[in-house]
Amino acid sequence: MKDAAANITYLKDYQKPNFLVESISLSFKLFEDGAEVTNLMHVVKDLDSESTELALDGEELELRSVSIDGALLNSDRYLVTESGLSISDMPADCQLEIVTWIKPQENKRLEGLYKSSTMFCTQCEAEGFRRITYYLDRPDVLTIFTTRIEADKSLYPNLLSNGNLIESGELDGGRHFAVWNDPFPKPCYLFALVAGNLHCQKDTFTTMSGREVRLEIFVEHKNSTKCDYALDALKRSMKWDEEVYGREYDLDIFMIVAVDDFNMGAMENKGLNIFNSSCVLAKPDTTTDASYQRIEAIVAHEYFHNWSGNRVTCRDWFQLSLKEGFTVFRDAEFSADMNSRVVKRVEDVALLRTAQFAEDAGPMSHPVRPASYMEISNFYTLTVYEKGAEVVRMLHTLLGAELFRKGSDLYFDRHDGQAATTDDFVAAMQEVSGKDLSQFKRWYTQSGTPRVNVSSEFDAQAQTYTLHFEQSCPPTPQQEVKEPFVIPIELALLNGDGGEQALSAFGGQKSAVFELTEKTQSIVLEGIPEEPIPSLLRGFSAPVKLNYNYTQHQLLFLMANDSDGFNRWDAAQSLALLELNAIVSTVKNGGNAQLSSAYVGAIRSIISNESLDKAMVSKLLQLPSAAYLIELAEEADVDAICTARNLARKQLAFDLQKELVACYQRNQGCEKGLSYAEMSVRGLRNTCLALLSANANDEFMSLCRKQFVNAQNMTDQVGALSAMIASGNKQDADDLLARFYDQWKEDAQVMELWFSVQSSASSYADLTHIQSLMEHPDFDFLNPNKLRSVVGVFANQNLENFHKLDGSAYAFLADQIIKLDDLNPQIASRLATPLTRWKKYNPARQALLRSQLTRIQGKSNLSKDLREVVDKSLVS
Ligand code: PHE
Ligand code: ZN
């Protein structure tokens, strides 16, 4: 047995590399049974370093030869292990050439060089490059890459890599080659190669300094009509980054390639982004509005990495949030500018509160900048991405837009071409603002979701209103005690007429940011004639759980009157939570419960209010998700929560039938356009239909069928399909599913939808149905999208069936994880997330979940990925 501690990498052990790579020349010869990789590096010893041993990373490589300055190395000069190649007595400056043979066709992990349908492609972040050749596979080794690719010309007419094409030509035997050079130094995780027979859609973008950049999207020929939207989103992203951050694109060409088999959403390789097909391909009859918005956000995200990630990269993987948190913040602001700022914020906060808060309360909880890891792939998390983005957003709030921009300019300037740390980022913000950010940095090092309790006191005589704040943070793995955070709380005080009080403690502003820095703190506001209603944490100004004891009346008031759109939604959520929690407790005691008439009335007036933003109305009509109710509960009773939610939906559908149908009818048309306004109309009619499905009477059935048949876009078609599935009318659902299948079976992206709409529906898909979907000819266990759309969706969204008390679904999930671990450990590990949340449930379910974790733990040859997750989950 290996010592467990030996498998852990610690931030505190960081040391700079003892060798530098001045340049690298890679040559790939691609064949149908494998690939030969020749790696010629100019290697130079670091002046400060004593050691002359060069330890290169490498996994599953077949070493063919090693030579230094042209002379073959004797095998006693180097040592090959499972994890690398080390060479002793290295000269201080030499040309090191390593030839390896790899087998992309057998690579099911989708890391390194692999085949996706007919094309060769790569994925190197975080540590995939070591599966291509021996190298210093760490982000702080930056160098200039030249890449030569050679392959059969008829099978692989397109040969792509990073940077600019500098040479290409024909070779004997029907083969050809291309040579690419990337003039910008980069770490190897940003390396990419693609060889395939692809359709290329071209466009151009003229940068702010007047340079023309060629834009090219490469897709399989069958997808040639699905490139327009991504190209358009790319151009908008390029323009936005110039306008908002002053960042211009730097190469003459920017390429995107769509691949079907991909572990994540997309990858920002320099000049050659590689995308999961589902995150880039789109056309109106096959793509839902939700997908359009996702594609826009991801295209932007990957493009923005060209500065936040590529020009300035990470020193080590503990700094991952330096690029990801910042880039998520950037893409969120972009989406807010392209669509609706409030709706975007609502969506992001909902994700944070359900999924990130759950992660932060579970066994894998870690700081935005983790201190250690066993497998870095496990740290591409909601905490690093979404909470990391919230931390950057707080800096933006604390500094203001202008100083924040000064800080980002300084950061990009100072660290251009370098590998930086989150400390460097904060230092730039501190320098431009003169604000001491040392306490603020606890957001990077302390895990867990802080709580803020707020109470108020009104003194009518003195006309003062006092707010008392108290912050705390629950213990998390390896962090028993937390120091106070800097928590920016934007607030306002609402009068009875909905107007806002001038805040004496904040220079008379009507909405101000209070910085909570102590464990407890109070503010006294003077000149307040009547007791106001506080609007707190406006815009969700910090990623915390804020608690103030609002009455139902106050929440109704805020929901109707708060000038902060986010807080109007949040008041509606709090209101719904009060209602749902009351129903949950009644259900637990076997009683019969109802929504209050005040609540139903408030929802009624929202549906009927035609002056509200339609996308916002959709958000206000949606009850908090079951996942959120589970996250909030101490010991979640899944059955009671789902029952209560279903009851509430049914009552809304019944009581508001007339208004919902009227709203549905008012919001027809807008069949094709992709503007925010048109999407909002489609969104609202489908929200109404979804709610009506909870009381599936004849009127619903006829509306739903009619919508399915007449749909002119995928949002309406799949909206009708999922409403029918949710309605519980199995025969009708089967019928629509079959028709949908016949219409779209050739389209992989639509088939993912077809799988997921049924897998998520608790009234339709039990475990047996899930198992039958896995036998379906269009299912593919090794394709991450298909696997997620059935198994992932089932375990994360179909809660009633996944949590069946016989434990059958838990065992099923463990079976899939065990089977997948030998093939694709990254995905296996991610699929295990629902099992790790065992502490949330009652003792019977806890035992069942734990026993499946124990089963997985006992598997032979368990991957590092899964080992880390199960070991951490079973502690305590
Ligand atoms: N860096 C990618 C992003 O933009 C995510 C990713 C990580 C993709 C690891 C593949 C592998 O967020
Ligand atoms: Zn990213």
Taking the CA of residue 263 as reference, the ligand 1 atom at the shortest distance is: 10
> pLDDT value at position 637?
97
Strands 533-536 and 487-494 turn out to be antiparallel
CB 185 within 8 A of CB 144: yes
Helix (H, G, I), strand (E, B) or coil at 381: coil
Nearest CA to ligand 1 atom 1: 267
Q: How far apart are CA 813 and CA 792, in angstroms?
A: 9
Q: For a pocket test of ligand 1, which of 237, 301, 319, 380 has the largest count of ligand atoms closer than 8 A to its C-beta?
A: 380
CA dihedral sign, ordered 383, 386, 389, 394: negative
Q: How far apart are CA 359 and CA 447, in angstroms?
A: 10
Chain segment 345-383, per-residue pLDDT in tens: 999 999 999 999 999 999 999 999 999 999 999 999 999
Tokens of 273: 């982004």
Q: How far apart are CA 848 and CA 834, in angstroms?
A: 12
pLDDT tops 70 at residue 2? no
Q: How far apart are the CA of 300 and the centre of ligand 2, in A?
A: 10
> pLDDT value at position 3?
44
Q: How far apart are the CA of 274 and the centre of ligand 2, in A?
A: 12
Share of the chain above pLDDT 70, in %: 99
Q: How far apart are the CA of 529 and the centre of ligand 2, in A?
A: 50
pLDDT tops 50 at residue 709? yes
> Which residues make Cβ contacts (< 8 Å) with residue 526, sequence separation at least 6?
463, 464, 504, 505
Helix (H, G, I), strand (E, B) or coil at 361: coil
Nearest CA to ligand 1 atom 11: 125
Chain segment 264-276, per-residue pLDDT in tens: 999 999 999 999 9
Q: Containing H/E element for 384?
A: none
Chain segment 803-827, per-residue pLDDT in tens: 999 999 999 999 999 999 999 999 9
> pLDDT value at position 876?
65
CB 420 within 8 A of CB 312: yes
Residues that are catalytic: 302
SS (H, E, C) 119-180: EEEEECCCCCHHHCCCECCCCCCCEEEEEEEEEECCCCCEEEECCEEEEEEECHHHEEEEEE
- Which of the four pLDDT bands, split at 50, 70 and 90, describes residue 6? low
Q: For a pocket test of ligand 1, which of 268, 303, 320 has the largest count of ligand atoms closer than 8 A to its C-beta?
A: 268
Q: How far apart are the CA of 17 and the centre of ligand 2, in A?
A: 25
Q: Which residue has the tokens 């079951």?
A: 626
Q: For a pocket test of ligand 1, which of 123, 125, 263, 865 has the largest count of ligand atoms closer than 8 A to its C-beta?
A: 125
Q: For a pocket test of ligand 1, which of 137, 237, 264, 382 has the largest count of ligand atoms closer than 8 A to its C-beta?
A: 264
> Which residues make Cβ contacts (< 8 Å) with residue 410, sequence separation at least 6?
428, 431, 432
pTM above 0.85, yes or no: yes
Nearest CA to ligand 1 atom 7: 125
Chain segment 390-445, per-residue pLDDT in tens: 999 999 999 999 999 999 999 999 999 999 999 999 999 999 999 999 999 999 99
pLDDT tops 80 at residue 149? yes
Rounded to 10°, the helix 320-338/341-351 angle is 140
Average pLDDT over residues 328-357: 98
Q: How far apart are CA 382 and CA 360, in angstroms?
A: 9
Chain segment 504-552, per-residue pLDDT in tens: 999 999 999 999 999 999 999 999 999 999 999 999 999 999 999 999 9
Neighbours of ion ligand 2 (CB under 5 A): 324, 327
Q: How far apart are CA 713 and CA 788, in angstroms?
A: 24
Q: Containing H/E element for 818?
A: helix 808-821
Q: How far apart are the CA of 373 and the centre of ligand 2, in A?
A: 19
Helices (H), 693-787: 698-710, 714-727, 730-744, 748-759, 767-774, 784-787
User: Which residue ranges have their beta carbon within 6 Å of ligand 1?
Assistant: 123, 125-126, 263-264, 266-268, 301-302, 305, 324, 380
Chain segment 818-864, per-residue pLDDT in tens: 999 999 999 999 999 999 999 999 999 999 999 999 999 999 999 99
Nearest CA to ligand 1 atom 5: 267
| CA angle, 277 then 280 then 283, to 5° | 100
Taking the CA of residue 268 as reference, the ligand 1 atom at the shortest distance is: 4
Share of the chain above pLDDT 90, in %: 99
Q: How far apart are CA 123 and CA 428, in angstroms?
A: 32
Helix (H, G, I), strand (E, B) or coil at 142: coil
Q: How far apart are the CA of 855 and the centre of ligand 2, in A?
A: 34
Q: How far apart are the CA of 796 and the centre of ligand 1, in A?
A: 22
Q: Containing H/E element for 495?
A: none
Q: How far apart are the CA of 129 and the centre of ligand 1, in A?
A: 14
Helix (H, G, I), strand (E, B) or coil at 213: strand
Q: How far apart are the CA of 304 and the centre of ligand 2, in A?
A: 9
DSSP classification of residue 775: T
Q: Containing H/E element for 706?
A: helix 698-710
Q: Containing H/E element for 114?
A: strand 112-116
CB 383 within 8 A of CB 449: no
Taking the CA of residue 309 as reference, the ligand 1 atom at the shortest distance is: 1
Nearest CA to ligand 1 atom 8: 267
Chain segment 636-654, per-residue pLDDT in tens: 999 999 999 999 999 999 9
> pLDDT value at position 4?
52
pLDDT tops 70 at residue 287? yes
Q: How far apart are CA 651 and CA 595, in angstroms?
A: 7
> Which residues make Cβ contacts (< 8 Å) with residue 568, sequence separation at least 6?
558, 559, 560, 561, 562, 620
Taking the CA of residue 305 as reference, the ligand 1 atom at the shortest distance is: 4
Q: Which ligand is nearest to the CA of 125?
A: 1
Average pLDDT over residues 222-236: 98
> pLDDT value at position 66?
98
Q: Which ligand is nearest to the CA of 379?
A: 1
> pLDDT value at position 156?
99
pLDDT tops 90 at residue 5? no
* Average pLDDT of the residues of the chain: 97
> pLDDT value at position 591?
86
CB 123 within 8 A of CB 111: yes
Q: How far apart are CA 47 and CA 400, in angstroms?
A: 43
Nearest CA to ligand 1 atom 2: 267
Q: How far apart are CA 280 and CA 291, in angstroms?
A: 9
Taking the CA of residue 324 as reference, the ligand 1 atom at the shortest distance is: 12
Nearest CA to ligand 1 atom 9: 125
Taking the CA of residue 298 as reference, the ligand 1 atom at the shortest distance is: 4
